[in-house]
Structure 1
Amino acid sequence: MQKSRGFTLIEVLIAALIVMLGVTGFVTLQGEFMRSDAALNLRAVAIQLAEEKLDDLRRFDVLEVTAGELAYNDIDDNLGGTLPAGDLTVAVGTDNGRTHQFTRNWTILDKYFVDTDNDGDADTWLDEGDAGLPLNIPTVSSQKQVAVTIQWTDLEGEVKSVTVEGSLAPVPASRSFQAVNETDGAKTTPKVAYTPGEAPDVISYELGNGESIETSKPVPEIDNQGDNNIVQFETIRYIDLPGQTDKLEQEDFLTVNCSCKLGGWGKAKTPHMTVLKDGELTVEPGKEVTKAYGVVADNQQPAQCTACCRDHHDTSTMISEEQYFRDENGSPHQHYKRQADGSFVDADYVGDPYDEVCRFKRVDGYFEIYPDWQLIDIIQFSDKYLLSETTLNNYRTYTEAVISAAVQGNSLPAKPTDRNITVTPGGYQLISRGIYLDRMKSSHLTELRSMISSGEADWKAAAPFYDVNLTLLTEWDSDTQTVATVTNEDIQTILDPSNDFYGTYSRGRVEAITDGTSTVTVGGMAYNGSITGTGAISQKEVDNAVFDDSMLVTVDSKSASEKFYALIGNINCLITIDGITEACETNNDKRSTYVDLTLITITNTPSQFSCPITIPKGKSTPFFSCSNVSENWAGSVNFALSVPGYTTTISIRYPDGSVVETDKLVLGEGLSDTSNQDYSIVVELVR
């Protein structure tokens, strides 16, 4: 008898139960997915609401509170803008248009960039209410930090929140829009008053379009960090108007030398670059590409060295597109490690060390890497040379001819021949200035050449050139050191005031010794090294170094029967305020440590000569120079200084290195030669 085939009732019930449980689980899982998706959408909506408020707060028109206007100073906790704080009802399209409740609030923290060390320069960000803020804080804060918080209740009944943070600068929306878009209107507003510098430290150039340009800082600021030099300065473009001079544009530059190692192959940046667009100089951004890159050799270097080592590498494509750092005979530049004997070892493999120097320009608030500096000429003269309007105009005519010749590929003109000096024994400061012309793309160069050849008066406005004071960064030498020497001390900055008070240095100071003539030579590396004052990083940089050896120094002691010499000495100055001792500031009268050393009274008994004081710009050491000191003179040189509020002590440093507290330098017998830094004085002020 055959058995029948089929399912029993029990089997059917069991199968139905299994299916039901599976479907229930699937539906539950789908519900969780849907709820999770809804929660995610609500979070996205919350972030959007927060960002919307941030944008709303940025749209103010004035800074101070003004009736009927949106003001920067209106912005405070849950105040400011057009969108109110509090509850919001939002229809979420991804949730079938259902409405959801949100709450929007924000907090504001005002921050101030202030001067905390009383040197006249702002240096630190402090929050509102900080005890370190000055008594009279600005009416408009330097920045407002914003935190916008959005709250909502999710589908499970839990309260959720998200906070979006941002910052506001005191720049009205109209000005911010102009800055971003660089329209013609943006370039004419806002107007900022500017006071041009004066020769010989600052040289201005008329650009032929009613505007002028100058390097505003007379000497680049130097910040030593170990073996790294950071040199910063800026150039200012301005316009002279009746009764006022307005600043139009400011370019900030930073140049730094770094120690690097080859890192391999990966992502790195090409340089930003100055280009000519619609008849005006503008910045063309760099881009990220795949190429060789480097890494810092150690972490004890300035922050900019990370980008310097990583990005300062060229490719054939960069060369062909004309947006590169520096080429070597038309090919991408290589990297080398300078040896003690002046030779260079190639860096070929990952991990190989090499030296690098990079140039940065501030773009949209950040320092971006830039093509290398191109030094086309260097010229030296005494610090009195440009005080004459005639020689100043002749100097400008010469440098403009240099720039024009370099643009057109012609030989440079001869240097002015009236720079030689005849002096009596003593100390005299020389100045060196470097003329730089940025490498240009072919289209830029062609257009600029056309402007020059057609006689257009405003061609200089399209030329990316710079006239920089290099006195403390170039190398100096004298070919007849028995007649005159010239200082060329190592670049230094005060790093440890407790142990190194005399961290200033001197370059370009001629110390005339005895009758005769000497040729003074000054030189700098061809590229970025000329700005940092550091050694060459390649043989090409050595081969293309720029020198000026066209200046003669003649020393004439005036009499064959009676010889005259000089007594030259450094002036070292220490100032102690509230128990803290550091070197005196001798240039910036806004700093609390400023001391006007020209107020030192120097007399001699018997009185036969004068001892003027020279305060060089920057970190260079002040000095006194008593000239026309007869070989038959014997007596004392007396020093006196009175500074209100300070106790002043003067000491004499003798040739053997000893320091004696006295204000009188006694010479028991006459000089037989110029005394060049054998003696110096130390001025100490205590408050």
Structure 2
Amino acid sequence: MNKLFMKRKSRGFSMIEVLIAVVVLGFGLMALAALQTSIIRSSAETKAQTVALQLAKDKIEDLRAFQTLAGYQAITSGNDTATESAVSYTRAWTVTRFGYQASTGAFAAIATLTGATPAADASGVAFTANNEYKRVAVTVSWTDANGNTQNIGIEDAIGAVSPGDGAKIVLNNTASSEPRYPRVLINDPSLTEGVIPIAVGNGTETAATNPKPEIAGNNNNQHVVETRFDVLTYAGLNNNTAQVQSRVETVVVGCTCNESNKDTADTSYRPTYWNGFRYAAPTAASYTPKSGAATIANNAPPQSQYCNTCCRDHHDPSGVTGPKFDPRRTTHTHYKIVNGTLVAAGANDDYVEACRLIRVDGIFRVAADMNNDYFNLLATRNDGSAAAYAPTATATTNYQNIVLDYLGARIVNQGSPSAYNTLLTASAVQALEATRSINDPDSISIQRTNDFKWLHSRGLFIDYLEPEALDKITNAKSACNTAVTTLQSCVLKYVPFTSINLSELTNWTPTSGTQLVVTNADFANSVGQTDPVRGKVVPGSNPTNNSNQTAYSSIFSSNSGVALLSYTIDTDETTLNDSQVFAIGGGSPPATGGTYQVNVTNYTFGASASTYPSFTANPSVVCNYSAGGNPYNCTTSTLGATTLNITSYNYEGAKIAYTATGGSSGISCSKTTGNNTTTITNIGLSIPASSIANARRTCRNFAVSSVSSGTIGAVTNSAKGSESTAISLTTADAAVINIGMTAEASTNASLLSCTYSGNYNSNDTIPDNKVTLTWSNPCQ
């Protein structure tokens, strides 16, 4: 019995044990679910608190950024709203004003918030003029996930002295005091490969982090791409660390919008723009959302979370005043893509859009459009190291200098503020490039096998300068003591510019071929790669030895380029280009084949590929020509001697008008009506240009007269379009074959028939436009 009992017990759990386990597991899962929900809610609340705090801080900084005493005197209480990540925030600020009363030796409240300092308070105690400050208390409130109202608040004092004058006080102070601001230390940005800082004077530098598209979402294998980078201004480099003075967080997105999907309850905003000190908080649009706003298109592919803001705000309606999103455009037309072409979008059409957004007041706001003022390639190390893709030390120095040269010529040393927004001419840029050797080297050597080189592209972006910024730069020039500092140091800190590494955003070609291949990868498939996914040059499938080949780069000039779009969003955006020559050399051709070039000289190429010579050979050969004809790059299946046939070098040329001689055409024209045929002779016919389609055809005839390596053989189908000449080559390995041609007399087509339309008698003269001539093809 004991053995039987033990055997049954070992077979499994009893029902009561299972039920107990299920109950215990259920309680555990319920606790875990509650914990997860609590974590998610806590995370969302923490994010909301962070945004609210940033909103409060940025409002105080915005109020503190006045430039004149009148600006300070205008500071008063107010409120506004903002939305971030689907959370609506209400921000209110309360201003309390205090003035100094010498008779009591203390500050007392001033009842009026704006205007000049009053003479005295209600009891008659005098205030000292302009010796006052304002206390600002900012409260930001929002509704949390539970429906409860949350709020956060901060306060600070704002003195009557402007920030600019405050800086002068510090400069004149013999004590060790300095303006109060948070100290943020960062690693030296120049230690990051591809980042090139630009010195703006007095130990201050500015640099942009490397922009790289980020995959912000994925839906049905359609990727949401956002291009992000920060523009940092910093000083005090010490032990590879620096103190940040400002940080401009930037994201650039491409969107698909539709104005018929307006949210009339949402408020549109004008652009954030550089006001001479900072990117100003945007103002609410004076036009209603019905006439200015839009939302993302219903049927669009997955889009960035910032596209709602982009579609809503990025409009410059007719008659709008103040800063614009695209101040260089006369009209702000939206476009759709139809068969790869931009077409003005209708009222209910989806249209393409691209926006730059900058974090202002804690929220990303749509900024004035970017403009790539200067685009170029820099020499990279190409030394096989882990950072071979980074610019050389010489190229970095040359680039830093040419940026300062460019800014100097356009703004710093420019005497007319009206010209600050005018790009330098191509000839002026070329002169700067020559001085700084920015286009060195002329060519880069690359081996035919097992080799690679890197390319690096950069863009210099300068914001459009609104009147406030123009005035600040002009005033900075006037106040600059050039005996103490340089004009560049006085001016550049007020110029909103940045130099960006565009290597990951540039479109590179060729992406396939026999000579060179440049990587132009899709970031969605390369998110884990540490090296650049674009701009790496490798030999093609069968490169030609001792030849020069060119790699090309291009990018759109504004937001579309940085957003990595395959199209521009408007007709005003241009395409910027640069190129690099590579000298192919060394190595052996593949064992299974050889390559050579063919140049056809003393030959008139026609207007299309059908009027170029073609080649066949035994063994087989493939010869590909470039636009315009030469050179032909030929690849054979085996090495050694080959027979090359050049063919189809005769072709139909331009048509010529038939003109009668001696007042007689010598042509009979016939018209058949029913069973009757009317023939008119000696009509004195001449064919005008308007009837050139009916004119006589000609055949351009050529003959092979010389070959640099080989023997000229038999000619077949002479004087026809299919004429061919056999050439026995002595070598087909890494050679350049020059084939000389001689032009022979052209042959003219003969008349096959002449017919006319209309009613004429045999002695009538038929107008030219009633006559149709049919000519033979002289090249057949």
TM-score (norm 1): 0.50
Confirm or deny that 1:361 pairs with 2:358: yes
What is the CA deviation profile of residues 594-619 of structure 1, one whole-angstrom value per residue up to 9, with x for unaligned ones? xxxxxxxxxxxxxxxxxxxxxxxxxx
Confirm or deny that 1:422 pairs with 2:445: yes
Report matched runs for 1:632-671 at 5 Å: none
Equivalent pair of 1:430/1:510 in contact (CA under 8 Å): yes
Equivalent pair of 2:225/2:253 in contact (CA under 8 Å): yes
Match of 1:313 in 2: 315
Confirm or deny that 1:556 pairs with 2:588: no
What is the CA deviation profile of residues 110-166 of structure 1, one whole-angstrom value per residue up to 9, with x for unaligned ones? xxxxxxxxxxxxxxxxxxxxxxxxxxxxxxxxxx99999xxxxxxxxxxxxx97533
Report matched runs for 1:11-160 at 5 Å: none
Q: Report the structure number with the largest CA radius of gyration.
A: 2
CA distance in 2, matches of 1:563, 1:427: 23
Q: Matched residue of 2:404: which SS?
A: helix
Change (3 A) 1:404 1:479: farther
Report matched runs for 1:398-417 at 5 Å: 398-407=402-411, 408=420, 409=422, 410-411=424-425, 412-414=428-430, 415=433, 416-417=438-439
Deviation at 1:281, TM superposition (A): 3.9
Match of 1:348 in 2: 346
Equivalent pair of 1:258/1:357 in contact (CA under 8 Å): yes
CA distance in 2, matches of 1:466, 1:288: 28
Change (3 A) 1:241 1:554: closer
Deviation at 1:249, TM superposition (A): 1.4
Change (3 A) 1:493 1:372: farther
Report matched runs for 1:466-545 at 5 Å: 466-478=498-510, 481-492=513-524, 506-513=533-540, 514=543, 515=545, 516-542=547-573, 544-545=574-575
CA distance in 2, matches of 1:564, 1:392: 42
Confirm or deny that 1:207 pairs with 2:200: yes
The correspondence for 1:433, drawn from 444, 458, 473, is 458
Change (3 A) 1:446 1:484: farther
Report matched runs for 1:233-272 at 5 Å: 233-240=229-236, 245-263=242-260, 267-272=267-272
CA distance in 2, matches of 1:531, 1:314: 21
Change (3 A) 1:508 1:387: closer
Equivalent pair of 1:270/1:286 in contact (CA under 8 Å): yes
CA distance in 2, matches of 1:196, 1:447: 29
What is the CA deviation profile of residues 405-429 of structure 1, one whole-angstrom value per residue up to 9, with x for unaligned ones? 4544332522413133212231222
Deviation at 1:289, TM superposition (A): 2.4
Confirm or deny that 1:195 pairs with 2:187: yes
CA distance in 2, matches of 1:485, 1:381: 19
CA distance in 2, matches of 1:230, 1:324: 23
Change (3 A) 1:505 1:249: closer
Deviation at 1:239, TM superposition (A): 0.7
Report matched runs for 1:376-395 at 5 Å: 376-384=373-381, 388-395=392-399
The correspondence for 1:546, drawn from 558, 576, 583, is 576
Q: Matched residue of 2:187: which SS?
A: coil
Equivalent pair of 1:274/1:281 in contact (CA under 8 Å): yes
Deviation at 1:446, TM superposition (A): 6.1
What is the CA deviation profile of residues 262-307 of structure 1, one whole-angstrom value per residue up to 9, with x for unaligned ones? 238865211111111xxx3442533232142212112843221111
What is the CA deviation profile of residues 572-591 of structure 1, one whole-angstrom value per residue up to 9, with x for unaligned ones? xxxxxxxxxxxxxxxxxxxx
Change (3 A) 1:530 1:374: same
Deviation at 1:199, TM superposition (A): 6.2
Q: Matched residue of 1:275: which SS?
A: coil
- Aligned-residue RMSD, C-alpha: 4.4
Equivalent pair of 1:479/1:520 in contact (CA under 8 Å): no
Q: Matched residue of 1:288: which SS?
A: coil
CA distance in 1, matches of 2:474, 2:584: 45
Deviation at 1:219, TM superposition (A): 3.8
Match of 1:339 in 2: 338
Change (3 A) 1:504 1:427: closer
Confirm or deny that 1:230 pairs with 2:221: no
CA distance in 1, matches of 2:592, 2:192: 35
Deviation at 1:489, TM superposition (A): 2.7
CA distance in 2, matches of 1:463, 1:563: 60
Change (3 A) 1:274 1:166: same
Equivalent pair of 1:232/1:255 in contact (CA under 8 Å): yes
Deviation at 1:259, TM superposition (A): 0.9
- Unpaired runs of 5+ residues, structure 2, are 1-51, 58-139, 168-177, 383-389, 412-419, 481-485, 595-638, 640-732, 735-780
What is the CA deviation profile of residues 40-82 of structure 1, one whole-angstrom value per residue up to 9, with x for unaligned ones? xxxxxxxxxxxxxx99xx99xxxxxxxxxxxxxxxxxxxxxxx
Equivalent pair of 1:383/1:431 in contact (CA under 8 Å): yes
Change (3 A) 1:308 1:147: closer
Segment drifting more, 218-227 vs 525-534 = 218-227
Confirm or deny that 1:166 pairs with 2:197: no
Q: Which has the higher contact order (CA 8 A, sep 6+)?
A: 1
Deviation at 1:315, TM superposition (A): 2.2
Q: Matched residue of 1:492: which SS?
A: helix
Q: Matched residue of 1:402: which SS?
A: helix
What is the CA deviation profile of residues 19-55 of structure 1, one whole-angstrom value per residue up to 9, with x for unaligned ones? xxxxxxxxxxxxxxxxxxxxxxxxxxxxxxxxxxx99
Q: Matched residue of 1:398: which SS?
A: helix
Deviation at 1:449, TM superposition (A): 6.8
Equivalent pair of 2:377/2:458 in contact (CA under 8 Å): yes
Match of 1:98 in 2: none
Residue identity in the other structure for 1:393: T
Residue identity in the other structure for 2:400: R
- Unpaired runs of 5+ residues, structure 1, are 1-53, 60-143, 149-161, 496-500, 566-630, 632-671, 674-687
Equivalent pair of 2:461/2:498 in contact (CA under 8 Å): yes
Change (3 A) 1:249 1:187: farther
TM-score (norm 2): 0.45
Residue identity in the other structure for 1:529: S
CA distance in 2, matches of 1:541, 1:193: 41
Aligned residues: 395
CA distance in 2, matches of 1:194, 1:246: 6
Deviation at 1:509, TM superposition (A): 1.1
CA distance in 1, matches of 2:569, 2:243: 42
Deviation at 1:312, TM superposition (A): 0.8
Deviation at 1:431, TM superposition (A): 1.5
CA distance in 1, matches of 2:584, 2:179: 53
CA distance in 1, matches of 2:530, 2:310: 27
Residue identity in the other structure for 1:421: I
Equivalent pair of 2:380/2:392 in contact (CA under 8 Å): no
Equivalent pair of 1:215/1:466 in contact (CA under 8 Å): yes
